[in-house]
A = this chain, B = another copy of it.
Amino acid sequence: MISSKPVRGTRDILPDEMKIRDRLEQQILAVYRSHGFSRIETPVMENLELLLGSDGGENLKMLFTVLKRGEKLALNPDASVLDLCDMGLRFDLTLPLSRFYSNNQEVLETPFKAIQIGNVFRAERPQKGRFRSFKQCDIDIIGDPTIQAEIELMDTTAKALLALGFKGFTIKVNHRQLLSEVIKKAGFDNEAIGSVCITLDKLDKIGVEGVTQELIKKGYESETVAELMRCVTSINLDNLDQWIADPTAIDELTQTINTVRILANDNFEVVFDFSLIRGMGYYTGLIFEVSYGPYGYSIAGGGRYDNMIGKYSKVSVPAVGFSIGFERIITILLEEQEKAQQIDPVVILFYDSQADNMVDVIKAADVWRGNGYLVNLVAMKKKFGKQIAAWDNGQYVGFLVYGRDEEIKTF
């Protein structure tokens, strides 16, 4: 017998959860659309060269690649993945959007405000709460170099999260230029920035002491590390000019945070967080992430990536995006059940399976459907009492027996 399990690291989604997912997706989509964003869609597969040529960071190690078809493969021990495969599954929605924008630029509005809702794929080591196929809900603004784009994205994403019932979340904001400038000013080389950021990213978990130790272990001078840690522990929105010279980065950070704070109206927080890193190599300006309650992971994240579209297009086009991690939202809502609950008005219409009266049964069901009920037709079994008990599963507001009941009965 063939195994009926889904492929490793993925899962089947059952009707109960699917109802909630569909509703949340529609709520998010409605907020996005009411803010002037338009939905687009790209294929889940992209050319392998495009994926490998991106600044996807760690995600490139987790690519699912698709075997070439219809040609004799050069199967020798030296064959590379590009010899064997020509496509891969997308690992995010940002790279496909950049390709999409270049491919369709002439017919798109400027600035172009895109919605993307779809699954992305990463061959991560399977573990609780991490899936190899997961849904993201992204909005991006392409063609606007000003922080008005960042403000709109934060405002829209925050409204979507508030519409789903989240309250009191925190938007953390940082700036890529600030990060690299401070790290260099502390005395690190240009080449060390990536490695230092990877360690700095752990500040939440291992604290200043842990970060210091790890950096020294990596071989960096203890004085340089100490200087960086002095910055980490004392930098804030009011003393940014002590740490960096670039007034643009300072302005972008402070103006964005101050504006979104007013819009937040005490429903959520906006904070500057110098230890916010975000993995992708392609970010160039402001970066941001949303954390919520006691959950140790972000529920949304994004940033500015001004240099990506230029790879596929003759001109460079500024771009910034914000993505809601749909699986994380769902996980939290399912834990906090009351937010997720909403019972549809579904009834069962039982009918005598011996009767040749499907026409009349369906017409009777249609009358109830016309009154706003969702109606499930079920043939009656001999042991009807037992059958009723089996259907009393919390999914139905009641039932009717065809030809007998005029009103809906509760279980």
Contact = CB atoms under 8 A, between A and B. Distances in A.
Nearest to A37: B376
A7 B377 CA distance: 43
How often does this chain occur in the complex, in copies? Answer: 2
A84 to B, nearest CB: 6
B7 A43 contact: yes
Interface stretch (A147-155, A190-198, A215-223): A147-155
A238 B124 CA distance: 60
B67 A313 contact: no
A42 B148 contact: no
A211 interface: no
A190 B395 CA distance: 47
Given A103-B5, A107-B14, A259-B359, A34 B378 contact: no
Contact of A64 (B12, B66, B314): B66
Nearest to A387: B110
Interface string A118-156: 010101000000000100000000001010100110010
A312 B65 contact: no
A177 B341 CA distance: 46
Contact of A6 (B11, B43, B108, B390): B43
- Chain A at the B interface: mostly helix, strand, loop or mixed? mixed
A353 interface: yes
Contact of A41 (B18, B64, B76): B18
A49 interface: yes
Interface of A: 1-7, 10-15, 18-19, 21-22, 26, 29, 33-36, 38-47, 49-50, 53, 64-67, 69-70, 75-77, 79, 81, 84-85, 87, 89, 99-100, 102-104, 107-111, 113, 119, 121, 123, 133, 144, 146, 148, 151-152, 155, 255, 259, 262-263, 311-314, 344, 346, 348, 353, 356, 358-359, 362, 365, 369, 373-379, 390-391, 393, 395
A19 B133 CA distance: 25
A45 to B, nearest CB: 5
A100 B263 contact: no
Contact of A84 (B40, B46, B84, B104): B84
A70 B61 CA distance: 10
Contact of A15 (B38, B102, B103): B38
Contacts of A47: 3, 7
Given A4-B99, A50-B3, A109-B391, A262 B14 contact: no
